[in-house]
């Protein structure tokens, strides 16, 4: 493990230990905060409960995965279009920058009208919320490809498909992966937040239900599950990115 990673682990562990002590000795209000060890127990209780896994964890994980895949495919495709067309790039780039100001969670009744009350509107919100990051980073990545690489590919008389595969994508993948990492976080935020107000199942719904019923242990257990899903997603993407980096190098 690298020195930087060790320092990060020590800092996080120190903060958690301090939080645990503060909740145990009463420095923090027991009606608002619970010990971290109790959060872990609550999360483990959820994870060993087949009914909770099937009714809440699995739907949330599936919705996040589908929204992320949809945002990745559409985001890269639209990003390619913005790269190929200067007109489209200059026309839509300002709207992409303002995209996150759109209150998606305020217009969820429209999604209910169009797609019903199933998982589809939750997936649509998660996908639309995360897609602009992929679009912007893809377009920027392709536009930042070094001219010497483009000239080299053209000197070999490579067709556009091979230029795309051997020149542009390898040069743009750091930008694309940055967009995918952001899309992961935004997909999780979009799905879980929408489950708060729209869904009758999922981890977001279980957190909201526990909050409304003053069940702190279940609420914090659900929050910890969301954090674990985020860590798992980022770890998987980080592993894929490191593998691609080694291959590219």
Q: What is the tens place of the pLDDT at every residue in 92-105?
A: 777 777 776 666 66
Of the two residues 103 and 52, the one the predictor is more confident about is: 52
158 pLDDT more than 90: no
Tens-digit pLDDT profile for residues 103-156: 666 677 777 777 777 788 889 888 988 998 899 899 989 988 888 888 888 888
- Give the model confidence (pLDDT) of 203-212 as tens digits: 999 999 999 9
Q: Return the pLDDT at 104.
A: 64
Query: Residue 156 has what pLDDT?
Result: 85
Q: What is the rounded average pLDDT for all residues in the chain? A: 86
Higher per-residue pLDDT: 235 or 45: 45
All residues at 6 or more sequence positions from 198 whose CB lies less than 8 Å from its CB, including other chains? 108, 111, 112, 117, 121, 122, 125
Q: Percentage of residues in the chain with pLDDT exceeding 90?
A: 43
- Comparing CA positions, the residue from 144, 108, 139, 142 lying closest to residue 123 is 108
Question: CA–CA separation, 171 vs 83, rounded Å?
Answer: 14
| pLDDT at 72 exceeding the cut of 90 | yes
Count of other CB atoms within 10 angstroms of residue 164: 15
Determine the Cα–Cα distance for residues 77 and 96; give it in Å rounded to an integer: 15
Q: Name the token pair of 136.
A: 């912007």
Q: Could you give phi then psi for residue 191, rounded to 5 degrees?
A: -70, -50
pLDDT per residue over 5-27, tens digit each? 788 888 989 999 999 999 999 88
Tokens at residue 11, please?
């800092």
Tell me if 243 sits within 8 A of 173, measured CB to CB.
Answer: no
What is d(CA 82, CA 58) in angstroms, rounded to the nearest whole number? 35
Q: What is the pLDDT of residue 249?
A: 54
Question: How high is the pLDDT of residue 74?
Answer: 94
Residue 191: partners with Cβ closer than 8 Å, 6 or more residues away: 60, 63, 64, 67, 122, 123, 125, 126, 202, 204
pLDDT at residue 214 greater than cutoff 70: yes
Residue 216: name the closest of 45, 38, 48 by CA: 38
């Amino acid at each position: 493990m690298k020195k930087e990673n060790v320092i990060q682990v020590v800092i996080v562990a120190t903060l958690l230990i301090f939080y645990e002590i503060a909740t145990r000795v009463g420095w923090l209000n027991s009606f608002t905060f619970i010990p971290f060890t109790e959060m872990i127990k609550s999360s483990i209780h959820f994870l060993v409960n087949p009914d909770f896994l099937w009714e809440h964890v699995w739907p949330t994980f599936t919705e996040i995965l589908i929204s992320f895949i949809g945002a990745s495919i559409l985001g890269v495709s639209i990003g390619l279009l913005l790269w190929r067309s200067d007109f489209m790039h200059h026309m839509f780039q300002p709207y992409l920058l303002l995209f996150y100001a759109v209150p998606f969670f305020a217009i969820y009744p429209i999604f209910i009208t169009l797609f019903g009350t199933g998982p589809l509107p939750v997936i649509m919100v998660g996908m639309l919320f995360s897609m602009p990051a992929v679009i912007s980073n893809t377009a920027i990545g392709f536009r930042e490809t070094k001219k010497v690489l483009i000239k080299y590919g053209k000197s070999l008389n490579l067709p556009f498909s091979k230029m795309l595969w051997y020149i542009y994508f390898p040069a743009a993948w750091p930008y694309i992966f940055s967009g995918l990492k952001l899309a992961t976080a935004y997909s999780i935020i979009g799905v879980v937040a929408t489950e708060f107000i729209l869904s009758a199942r999922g981890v977001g719904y279980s957190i909201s239900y526990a909050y409304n019923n003053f069940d702190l242990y279940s609420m914090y257990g659900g929050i910890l599950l969301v954090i674990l899903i985020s860590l798992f997603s980022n770890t998987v993407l980080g592993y894929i990115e490191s593998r691609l980096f080694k291959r590219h190098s």
